């Protein structure tokens, strides 16, 4: 991949200009340095209690050339390093995904997370290489220590000033706690890849139509992974100075060999094909420095199918932007056919969030966020309840985030759809970030 990008860059420059020095000289260096503390405590019903924490420092160093005849080369080097680690390490800021592959989850790592060649003009944009992307199914989870990225390419066409259409191809995925890029389907299914798809690897193709107006937006996605999964997604939003109204809907179905293989009674889903349908509704009420966020989610029940929403590649479906609604373990290697409590078939959930800024008190840069969510499902022993409190401070390049998450009856499913609940889960985060 790196050799191909370099070769394309050199050939392009030789053709585009006799003096390509300015391509590099006028480029831009940026990035961030981040300290991340996380502590996770789990209480089981046995009874059993586990506790783990970690300190880590890391960040991203980016270099982007200037555009020469519409062409730009982009790179991002990523690193994380733990220190003062206990015997029981919370590895979600280190190599947790590598641990799922049989390697050490506690190790520090570095990786060339982004390197891509990008061409852009007024009609279309084309890139190829490694890049951070943000779609409903494939996302970066940028709030964590390091982002997730993909290897592939994308072409986008500007139909009009308000409308664009794009096709994204991805064949490798680097999860945010991984040092290596893995085939994107293999990452989702792990050792079950061949049993489900009939092959040891695969790819995804995401078609995206976007229409933007001054106060409204429509986004339609269709992601197709041959012999595994098809995902259709619609996102519509209207906003003004006082409120925002939005709706999202998603349908996931198994296709090709996966449809045949999962229907076998001996399959990992106990003979159930994937057929999951869900929708979410959102309203945000705004007044000066305050906002109230209300989200309703409904994952429809289909007893004859695998009906839970899956997010193997760090996507954020149905307004799920935190670990309280989007179980981050779903994107670990081989965990593709698992689901967190908010995504299990038959679940209805309601979330309330309140955000307050304090400029009116002279406390510029400070912000608090309080949230409560409840998820109900007849399959659950008890309702899952989530509480979250965050204190933000943002002063230009420097920011601080202190976060607490408390979950009663934390819920997740295994590959065969069996529901499991913890008595409780608590997490504490302290994040210091400096952008340059």
How many residues are present in the chain? 436
Three-state secondary structure readout of 59-84 = EEEEEECCCECCEEEEEEEEEEEEEC
User: Please, is 33 exposed, middle or buried when counting C-beta atoms within 10 Å of its C-beta (0-12, 13-18, 19+)?
Assistant: middle
Identify the CATH class of 2-435.
mainly beta
State the DSSP string of 174-236: E-TT-SS-EEHHHHHHGGGHHHHHSSS---EEEEEEEEE-SSEEEEEEEEEETTTEEEEEEEE
For residues 203-218, give the mean pLDDT: 97
Rounded to whole angstroms, how far apart are CA atoms 189 and 181?
15
Q: Is pLDDT above 80 for 13?
A: no
- pLDDT for 336-363, tens place per residue? 999 989 999 999 999 999 999 999 999 9
- pLDDT for 281-320, tens place per residue? 999 999 999 999 999 999 999 999 999 999 999 998 998 7
Give pLDDT, residue 48: 80
User: Phi, psi (5° rounding) for residue 195?
Assistant: -65, -30
Report the chain's C-alpha Rg in angstroms: 22
Q: For residue 121, what are the CA distances in angstroms to 7, 156, 245, 299?
A: 22, 11, 34, 41
Q: Among the listed ranges 43-57, 153-167, 245-259, 419-433, which one has the minimum average pLDDT value?
A: 43-57
Rounded to whole angstroms, how far apart are CA atoms 183 and 200?
9
C-alpha 121: how far from its chain's center? 29
Give pLDDT, residue 414: 87
Rounded to whole angstroms, how far apart are CA atoms 424 and 69?
56
- pLDDT for 159-193, tens place per residue? 999 999 999 999 999 999 999 999 999 999 999 99
Rounded to whole angstroms, how far apart are CA atoms 407 and 144?
19
Evaluated on CA atoms 408, 313, 190, 264, the torsion sign reads positive
Return the domain boundaries, the chain: 2-435
User: Phi, psi (5° rounding) for residue 244?
Assistant: -130, 135
pLDDT band for position 72 (50/70/90)?
Answer: very high
* Tokens coding 245: 């109204």
């Amino acid at each position: 991949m790196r050799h191909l990008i370099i070769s394309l860059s050199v050939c392009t420059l030789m053709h585009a200009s006799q003096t390509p020095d300015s391509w590099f000289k006028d480029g831009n260096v940026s990035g961030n340095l981040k300290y991340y503390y996380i502590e996770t405590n789990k209480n089981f019903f046995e009874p059993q209690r586990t506790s783990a924490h970690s300190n880590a420092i890391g960040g991203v160093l980016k270099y982007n050339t200037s555009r020469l005849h519409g062409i730009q080369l982009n790179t991002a080097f990523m690193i994380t390093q733990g220190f003062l680690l206990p015997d029981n390490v919370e590895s979600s800021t280190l190599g947790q995904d590598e641990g799922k592959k049989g390697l050490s989850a506690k190790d520090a790592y570095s990786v060339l997370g982004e390197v891509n060649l990008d061409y852009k003009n007024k009609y279309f944009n084309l890139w190829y290489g490694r890049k951070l992307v943000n779609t409903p199914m494939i996302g970066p989870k940028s709030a964590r220590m390091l982002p997730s990225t993909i290897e592939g390419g994308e072409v986008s066409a500007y139909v009009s000033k308000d409308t664009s259409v794009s096709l994204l191809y991805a064949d490798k995925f680097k999860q945010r706690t991984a040092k290596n890029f893995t085939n994107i389907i293999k990452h989702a299914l792990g050792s079950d890849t061949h049993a489900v798809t009939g092959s040891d690897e695969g790819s995804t193709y995401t078609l995206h139509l976007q229409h933007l107006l001054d106060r409204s937006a429509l986004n339609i996605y269709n992601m197709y992974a041959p012999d595994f999964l098809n995902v259709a997604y619609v996102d519509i939003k209207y906003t003004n100075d006082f409120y925002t109204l939005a709706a999202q809907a998603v349908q996931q179905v198994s296709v090709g060999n996966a449809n045949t293989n999962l229907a076998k009674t001996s399959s990992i889903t106990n003979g159930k094909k994937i057929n999951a349908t869900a929708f979410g509704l959102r309203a945000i009420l705004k007044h000066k420095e305050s906002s109230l966020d209300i989200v309703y989610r409904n994952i429809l029940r289909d007893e004859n199918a695998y009906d839970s929403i899956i997010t193997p590649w760090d996507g954020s479906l149905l307004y799920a932007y935190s670990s309280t609604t989007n179980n981050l373990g779903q994107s670990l290697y081989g965990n593709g056919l698992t689901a967190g409590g908010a995504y299990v078939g038959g679940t209805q959930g309601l979330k309330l969030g309140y955000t307050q800024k304090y400029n009116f008190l002279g406390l510029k840069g400070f912000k608090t966020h309080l949230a409560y969510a409840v998820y109900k499902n007849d399959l659950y022993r008890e309702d899952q309840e989530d509480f979250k409190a965050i204190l933000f401070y943002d002063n230009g390049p420097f920011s601080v985030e202190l976060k607490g998450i408390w979950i009663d009856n934390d819920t997740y499913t295994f590959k065969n759809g069996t529901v499991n609940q913890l008595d409780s889960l608590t997490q504490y985060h302290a994040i210091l970030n400096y952008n340059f």
